[in-house]
Each structure stands twice: as C-alpha cells, then as structure tokens.
Structure 1
Amino acid sequence: MDEERYQRLWHSITARVEDSGSTRWVGAVCAAVVSLVDGVDAATLTVRANSWVQETWGASDEWAASLEELQYTLGEGPGLDAFKTGNFVLAPYLSAEHARWPGFVQAVGSLGLVAVVAFPLQVGAIRLGTLDLFCRTAGRMTPDALTDAAVLADLAVYALLRQLGDPPADDPPEPDPAPSSGDLPLSYHEVHVATGMLAAHLNVELDEAFTRLRARAYAEDRPLLALARDVVARRVPLDDVDSD
C-alpha cells in the first residue's frame, strides 16, 4: 500500500472529526469518501451480521440512506453481494445489471443512481459490513479514484473498530461509544423487533419470519422499515402480515 496515500486519507478523516467536534468516526469516513473520491456523490457504511440483521452507522446524506434502505427492503444489491462474497463489487453502469439485481435496478431507475461500488469491511476472515459508494454519473471513477476508495474502505474498518469500542492495540485514545439506534442515520431496530414478534406469533424461525415480512413489504411496494414500524405499533395486525 502507498503509505503516503494512506496517511493523507487518514489525516483527512481525523481532521473532519476534529473540526466537527464529533466522535462519529464512521460519519467522517462517509464524508471523506464523497469529498475526496472523484465521481462519488454519496456513501454509506453499514454494519452487517447477515442479510437482515444490519444497521447503517454512517450515511453522507438522505439520498444515500434511502438507497441503502432499498437494498435492505429488496434483499439484493451491491452492498449485500460484497458482504456475502467478501469481494468488492463494481457496477460502473448500473443499467447493465438487470440480470444481477433486477429489483434494485428497477427501483433506483428514477432516483438518479447510475453507478455503484461496494467494499466489504473485514478483519481477517470476520466481515463487519460494507462501505457503499453511489454515483450519479457513470464512468467517472478512474483507477486512481478506485485506489483511493479502496484505501478509505481499509480506513473505514479502523474507524469502525474505534466506534465499536475495539481499536487496534497501538491506538492510544479511548474508544468512542457505540451509537444507539436513535443516533444512527438509518436504524432497522423496528425491523428486528417486528421479525421477533412475527416469529413468535407464527411459531417459526426468525429467518422465515423476516422473509415473510420482506415479502409483504415488496407486495405493498413500501419500505420494509415503514411496514415494521406499523407492525410494532400494532397498526398492522400480525395476521395481516402473514396473509396472501
């Protein structure tokens, strides 16, 4: 790795943290990506455990958060693929990816998204989540820009570990507290709660309950998070979620 590039990008992240007075290193990474990587218009950093247990810890703006939520609702997209495979995913022309992510490509057709890059965030064999980069213009990311993005993805792991409370041993400052769901730009806490409620009601495994919840959201063409909030608030009966 180019040490000068690494240090330059890391200093940019730390400067953002210091200038803002914030302890949210993950948010600083997303801001740095948008500011420093040519062709990238928005970014999200999402902590993932599997295809349905996840939380978006950083988002550069509401557009980025909405794109991340679409992946979650549909169960497909570059971020999910990067997490599943452990490989970075490059889609410089999203319109050519209908076979790969049919629902996602169709859903973002009117949202201005034309290119995506997603990097898995991992420590050894342990995957922590993904850094997803969203572009409004196709073909603008040069090889040099991709290299910067890859370095920032590595630095995102470092920042994420700080916020998770497990910084590298050679890092002297105290770790920052992990954010609560109310502090996150996009939290799926209600989805997790609704999934548990549905699993108990139907006496099924959590994975099956989540699949049914996602299917209902897809059938109604609404965000999964919005449906989950209605379920938790009892505005939507559990029997209705399971009905055809």
Structure 2
Amino acid sequence: MVENRRQRLQALLAADGAVRSASAVSLACERCVRELSVSGAGATVLSTMPGGNGSSPSRGLVHATNDVSAGLEDLQLTVGEGPCLDAFASGGPVLIADLAAANARWPAFTPAACELGAAAVFSFPLQIGVVRLGSLDLYRDTPGPLTRVELADALILSDLATQGVIADLDGHRTEDVSWLADPYTQLHQATGMVQVQLRSTTDVALMRLRAYAFTRNVPLADVARQVVERSLRFTDTEDGQ
C-alpha cells in the first residue's frame, strides 16, 4: 500500500517536472499543497553555525509556495524557535493541529505565526539515516490535523524532497549553504562580523542579531544584509547603531 502511494507520488512529481522546469524540492512542496489540503509549504536546508554549539542552526530557504510560508521560515530563524527547528533537532515530525494552543511551547513564534495566517503547522525532517539536512514545513490557515493518508503522503514527499536536496547539494558539504541563491546565506558573514565587533562568541553574535530583528520587526535577512553592507554596526553597549 505504502509502496503504491510512493510510486503514485513519484509519477506525479515526474509529470510535474515534465510540464515545468523546477527543482525536485520545489515540485515536492507544490505537490504537498495539492495532495495534503495544506495552504502552503516550504523546504529549507539547515546547518550548524561555524563555531557554534549546535543549538543555533542557520537556514537557507530552498523553496516556499507563498509569502506566508516564506514568512514562517524567516520568523523561526529570527526568534530561534518553532516546528522546523524542533523537527531538525529531534529527527521526527512535529504535528500541531491547533497552533493557537501551542503558545507555551513557542511563546515568541506562535503569536506572530498566527498573525501571519497559520492556524496549524506540520514539519518533517529531511534526513538520510541519522544525517539531517533540513525540514519540509507545511501550514494550514484553519486548524485541523492531517489525516492518516495525508500523514503517510507527507512522509513520502519529505523523503522525495530529501532526494532533491541531496541532488542540489552535489559537490557541496552538508554544512555549506553558500550554494543557495538566498539572502539567508549572508547570515554566516554577518554573524562573523558582529562577533568581531562585540569580541564575543558566535552564539552571542547571533543572539544580538535576532534580538535586533525581533524588537524592530525587521526580517533577520535584512538585518544581516545591513551588517554586511556596513550600514549597521553593533557595539558592547548598544543593540546596533
């Protein structure tokens, strides 16, 4: 039964690819929206910041089907919590049918995610064995769980998306996200620059960047770009100037 569903989804993805030239990851995200009754999907590659302790992964956005999905990915990186990060840390799916009820679990992420339009979120790790490469993240604009069939298909599509990430990573180390055409890749450089400015650890530098973005309601990618362009500098006594 599961093998039949996998063959069906593989055939659908192949047909999608024949109609439109796009990466396997992008096609998997878009197929999730069609097959799983979700409002949007996003896929990301995650890695540990160089010199960090493993608790602060950086992210490169591979694909998002709409602005809400992209906003949810950016929000999790900014506040440092959410289903994507939990799925990456645990290696198992994170299934939240009613996001409003998860405020205690993610006090910074939940209210902002609800404001963006998410009412339910489902994250699946992209992994091969014990090696985790990122996450496949789904949301609905109304509360409600995935059905058993939808959950089975989501697991299959996350596995197929993983294969797409591996293909895109060909020739790159898993911790190297510089190949992604995405503004999040500037976060590596910006964190290093702030670390030098503050004479701090990588984790402290990343925390200051996140705090600056969160308190000013600015995307973290924009803050990183300002640092790299040297229009924003951090000091020991101020959040930024």
Mapping of residues 6-155 of structure 1, within 5 Å: 6-22=6-22, 24-38=23-37, 40-50=38-48, 51-139=56-144, 141-155=146-160
Shift of 1:100: 0.4
Partner of 1:194: 190
Q: Distance in 1 between matches of 2:13 and 2:2?
A: 17
Q: C-alpha offsets along residues 183-238 of structure 1, whole Å, 9 cap, x if unaligned?
A: x4xx3022221111111222222222111211222222322112111122222223
Shift of 1:140: 5.5
Q: Runs of 4+ in structure 1 displaced over 4 angstroms?
A: none
Partner of 2:209: 213
Q: C-alpha offsets along residues 145-186 of structure 1, whole Å, 9 cap, x if unaligned?
A: 1111111111111121122227xxxxxxxxxxx99433x4xx
Say whether the 8 Å CA contact 1:116–1:134 is kept in structure 2: yes
Q: Distance in 2 between matches of 1:202 and 1:131?
A: 35
Say whether the 8 Å CA contact 2:61–2:180 is kept in structure 1: no
Q: C-alpha offsets along residues 93-131 of structure 1, whole Å, 9 cap, x if unaligned?
A: 001001001111111232221000100111111111100
Say whether the 8 Å CA contact 1:216–1:241 is kept in structure 2: no
Aligned residues: 228
Q: Give the TM-score taking structure 1 as reference length.
A: 0.86
Partner of 1:170: none
Q: Distance in 1 between matches of 2:31 and 2:43?
A: 12
Partner of 1:172: none
Q: Give the TM-score taking structure 2 as reference length.
A: 0.87
- For residue 133 of structure 2, give the secondary structure of its aligned residue in structure 1: strand
The percentage of counterpart residues that share the same residue type is 39
Say whether the 8 Å CA contact 2:96–2:145 is kept in structure 1: no
Say whether the 8 Å CA contact 1:212–1:242 is kept in structure 2: no
Partner of 1:5: 5
Partner of 2:174: none
Shift of 1:242: 4.6
- For residue 143 of structure 2, give the secondary structure of its aligned residue in structure 1: coil
Q: Distance in 2 between matches of 1:26 and 1:67?
A: 18
Mapping of residues 212-231 of structure 1, within 5 Å: 212-231=208-227
Partner of 1:164: 169
Q: Which runs of 5 or more residues in structure 2 are unaligned? A: 49-55, 172-176
**242 and 193 in structure 1: CA distance in 2 versus 1, 3 angstrom threshold:** farther
Q: Which runs of 5 or more residues in structure 1 are unaligned? A: 167-177
Shift of 1:240: 8.0
Query: CA RMSD of the aligned region, Å?
Result: 2.0
Q: Does 1:238 align with 2:227?
A: no
**218 and 25 in structure 1: CA distance in 2 versus 1, 3 angstrom threshold:** same
